[in-house]
Amino acid sequence: MPNKKDIKIVGAGPAGLVAAIDLNRAGYNVIVYDKQDSVGGEPAWHPSVHSTPVSKRLFDYIGIDCREAFAESTQCFKAFVFGEQVDVNPYQETGLFNTERGHRPTSLDNVLYRTAVREGVNFEFRSPWKEDDFRKAPKGTIIATGLSAGVYEWLEIPCSVFAGYWAYSEIEKDYISTAGYFGSYSNEYGYAGSMNGIWYVLLFARKEIPAQNLEDFKQELQRLEGRSFDRWRRFSGLTPKGPRLYHKDFILTGTFGGFVEPAYGFGITGSLLSGKISAMAVYDPQRAEEEFHTYTDGIITHIARKRQPGYAPSALMGDVWFDVR
């Protein structure tokens, strides 16, 4: 490629970083913009620990070995329904892994960022994009802004509220665990995950939860895990109502592109996978379309099933989502 083409990526989360690395390797001049001072996402939501099923072939697919940011937690997985542990492990085929998000050096964000910088990707931090910036953006700009509310409004993308409560405390650095909680605390579910010296708790809830419910869940965690924290923090963002690779002249990726598993909200695997596909949309659009449909058509079906009586979530979604070819 005699003259490198400029590609702009808005958002330096995992999806944006994977896209940037892949496009840089393909010979493009990549510039990544982010409103924060550094990688790591919204400081009000991090540091955080995320549990996600990960196929062992995922890292080969994206072409980036970021396994150092993941710790397998399959053997530590526990599920509690109304305070009683149930003997279930739906992640045997893929493995359940924990990874850290945020600004700390051990986070997935920083593992990918170090690779990007080493390979020559350009970054402009403290660069928040406003509505006018998107209006003037060149065709093929990749948007990886995650849960950011304003962008959905500016680009007129149908969306849903993604919200809940989170808390964390510092623990011993070598402790790794994952536990899911289903009960009457909210109409969704909660989980607790730990790695890198962090015990992180998240309770999904689109609406405000009574203080007593939050206190009951906190006490339940104390009883079952022997750990506690200072206070709950509220978070709120938006997610699209369905996956899409293109919108107007933009390429969408990560959470903003709808790569979120709809049953339990797993998003880390989707962010890495979609980062690769969004880069592919620049240099091989036909293949990108094919890959996009391979890994997202099952999401629409799953969302439709959630509206049916007797719905039971399917964590793995067959070979559409986590079984990367």
At 220-243, the pLDDT tens digits run: 999 989 999 999 999 888 889 889
Quick one: average pLDDT of 17-22? 98
Percent of the chain residues topping a pLDDT of 90: 58
C-alpha 63/C-alpha 50 separation (Å) is 22
Domain total of the chain: 1
Q: Helix %, strand %, coil % for the chain, to 5?
A: 35, 25, 40
pLDDT of residue 315: 55
Per-residue pLDDT at 182 exceeds 90 = no
| Amino acid symbol at 5 | K
Domain with 70 in it: what CATH number? 3.50.50.60
Q: How far is CA 76 from CA 104, 134, 169, 178, 192, in A?
A: 24, 44, 19, 6, 12
- For residue 67, the Cα-to-chain-centroid distance in whole angstroms is 16
Per-residue pLDDT at 2 exceeds 50 = no
Between 15-29, 75-89, 205-219, the lowest mean confidence (pLDDT) is in 75-89
pLDDT of residue 189: 85
C-alpha 189/C-alpha 211 separation (Å) is 16
Under the banding of pLDDT at 50, 70 and 90, the label for residue 96 is: confident
Percent of the chain residues topping a pLDDT of 70: 87
Higher-confidence residue of 81 and 277: namely 277
pLDDT of residue 103: 95
In a domain, 316, yes or no: no
CB of 46 within 8 A of CB of 21? no
Show the domain range for 116: 6-306
pTM: 0.91
Per-residue pLDDT at 295 exceeds 70 = yes
Which letter, b or e, does each residue of 25-42 get, where b requires 16 or more Cβ atoms within 10 Å of its Cβ? ebebbbbbbbbbeebbbb
Half-sphere exposure of 141 (CA within 13 A, CB side): 18
pLDDT of residue 324: 46
pLDDT in tens, 257-277: 998 877 777 789 889 999 999
In a domain, 128, yes or no: yes
Per-residue pLDDT at 323 exceeds 60 = no
CB of 143 within 8 A of CB of 158? no
In a domain, 79, yes or no: yes
In a domain, 312, yes or no: no
In a domain, 311, yes or no: no
In a domain, 122, yes or no: yes
In a domain, 319, yes or no: no
CB of 281 within 8 A of CB of 245? yes
Q: Which of 28-37, 68-77, 296-305 has the highest mean pLDDT?
A: 28-37
